Every structure is written in C-alpha cells, then in structure tokens.
Amino acid sequence: MIAQSFNYESPGTLKDAISLLEKYGEEAKILSGGHSLIPMMKLRFASPDVLIDINNIPGLSHIKEEGGVVKIGALTREAEIEHSDLLKKYFPIFADVTKQIADPQVRNRGTIGGNLAHGDAANDHPAVMLSLNATVIATGANGERSIPIDEFFFGFYQTALQQGEILTEIQIPIPPKGTGSSYHKQERKVGDYATAGCAVQITIDSKGVCTAAGIGLTNVNATPLRAVRSQDALLGKPITDATIADAAKFASEDCNPSTDLRGSDEYKRHLVAVLVTRMIHKAMERTK
C-alpha cells in the first residue's frame, strides 16, 4: 500500500526540530531511520500530516564514554553499534543484539533512538536497556530531562516521551569488573521479530556472589518486561544451577505472552525459561 500524502520538514538544528514539533503538535511525527514508521504509514496504521526528519541535525549520532557512563546518540545506527569497540569493551550484549535485528539493510538505517521511541515490545533494544539500567534523555522546549528506563515504556506502543520531546541520547552506567552481559532471541527465521528474547547483565564479586543482576524480556508482555523476581533470585547469592533454575521459573511465570502465529502461551513461557537459563550462563562466562 501507499502512505497517505504528508508534508516533509528537514530542520538543521535540534531547536528548529522542537519548534516544528510545537507548531504541528499531534499531526507531526519524527522521522529517524524510518524502518518502523514508514511501514506503519504504508499499512495506514499511522497517518501523520507532517514528517520531521531529524537526520540532518548534527550532534545526535555518537558513542562516547563520559563521567562513568557510555552515551549513545539517538541517531546512532544499528550498524555503528554492532561494530563499536567502546561498546564491545563494556557491553558485549550489543554485538549479540544488533546481529539479530533484521538484516544489514535495516541495520544501516535503523537507529537506536527510533527502536526505543517506537515503544514496541517486540523490538530488541528495550529488553537490553532494561538489563543495563539505561537512562533515556528527552529534549524539549524546556531543555533536557532524564527518564529511567523502568519509567519509559507505558503501554502498547506508548512511551514516556511527551508531545514536543525528542529522544536525544541514551546513557548507560559503566559496570564494574566482574560483569558480563548477553542477549538472545528465538526467531522463526533470520530477520524475524522475536518469538521471545532475553537480555541479562550480571556482576559477580571476588567471592562469586552476585552483586547486581538485570534481566529484560522481549515480546512476552504488552510492554518490554523486567523480570524482577528472577533478578532477586540471583542477587546476594552465588550463581548455582539452583538459583538459575529459580530465575528461569520466575521469568516464565511472570511474563504474559499471547498465543499467536509464533507460538502458544505455554510454548513461549517454556522458551523464556530456556532463554533465561542460557543467557545467565553466557553472561556468567563473560564475567571472567
């Protein structure tokens, strides 16, 4: 199908983009990589009157270390994330996740900001950001505000971004030594969205005790899901087969998958338990 007609704006500064958002209000949509928005427009699930293309705004694409956090600009493409040495150094999970997102064509264009702002529980970065305890930076007419990732995803395709705000950066705390992270999703075929996915980041102290655990789940709930009871099952204890089994069981109980063409509720819960088990083991290997 062909999208309905729309007007196109291409501001050269963030200030101009925010002014345009204010001017057009709810009739406008930000255009980043376009790999979620344009398909939605072609299917007529979205019919914005105006697209505000932020691709020509300088300063929105970067991966840098500053003040104990890694900062990723919203316009940073998946391909840049996949090959970033800085991200590989602290967060091997990004090489895991980006390789599993669509195909190279989509990854050359799709942005991390768009992936989060879309608010789709089937996208892969939201669960990763939950596991890494990221903070989202939103910029509007009144300046910047920080949104903890746990407060970012609201409902089906809904986020905490307010009218007139642009997601400009993601900030991720650099974890201490003894930290490992991993992501995997089950997909029906290469390039498909997840049947279910699991992101894990774990920190182990010198005595082998788990001092931090982040576990995020993809596409098994209306919103990206933090597996809180699974994290608690690991925290303050040595990671053993028994604690991992508890974490897996809690995640499978606490998710809310729907039965669809990708599988039944029962199958997806089983899958979640398998993925949580495997990703904890993989993250543990990487703590070394």
Q: Under the rule (CB under 6 A), what is the footprint of ligand FAD?
A: 29-37, 39, 74, 101-102, 106, 110-111, 113-115, 117-118, 123-125, 161, 166-167, 191, 193
Which residue, 125 or 249, is less far from ligand FAD as judged by CB?
125
Which residue, 32 or 243, is less far from ligand FAD as judged by CB?
32
**Residue 2 C-beta: closest distance to ligand FAD, Å:** 17
185: nearest Cα among 259, 284, 272:
272
String of b and e for 212-232 (b: at least 16 CB within 10 Å)? bbbbbbbbbbebbbbbeebbe
Residue nearest to ligand FAD (CB): 114
**Residue 160 C-beta: closest distance to ligand FAD, Å:** 11
Which residue, 34 or 173, is less far from ligand FAD as judged by CB?
34
Which residue, 118 or 226, is less far from ligand FAD as judged by CB?
118
* Residue reference for tokens 């900030």: 171
Q: Measured between alpha carbons, how far is 257 from 72 in angstroms, rounded to an integer?
A: 30
**Residue 165 C-beta: closest distance to ligand FAD, Å:** 7
Alpha helix stretches (DSSP H) within 83-206: 85-90, 93-99, 104-109, 112-117, 125-132
**Residue 181 C-beta: closest distance to ligand FAD, Å:** 17
Q: Any residues with CB less than 8 A from the CB of 176 and at least 6 apart, and which? A: 203
**Any idea how long the chain is?**
288
Which residue, 198 or 248, is less far from ligand FAD as judged by CB?
198
**Residue 204 C-beta: closest distance to ligand FAD, Å:** 29
Using CA atoms, how far residue 125 sits from 7, 25, 75, 115, 151, in Å, is 30, 27, 14, 7, 15
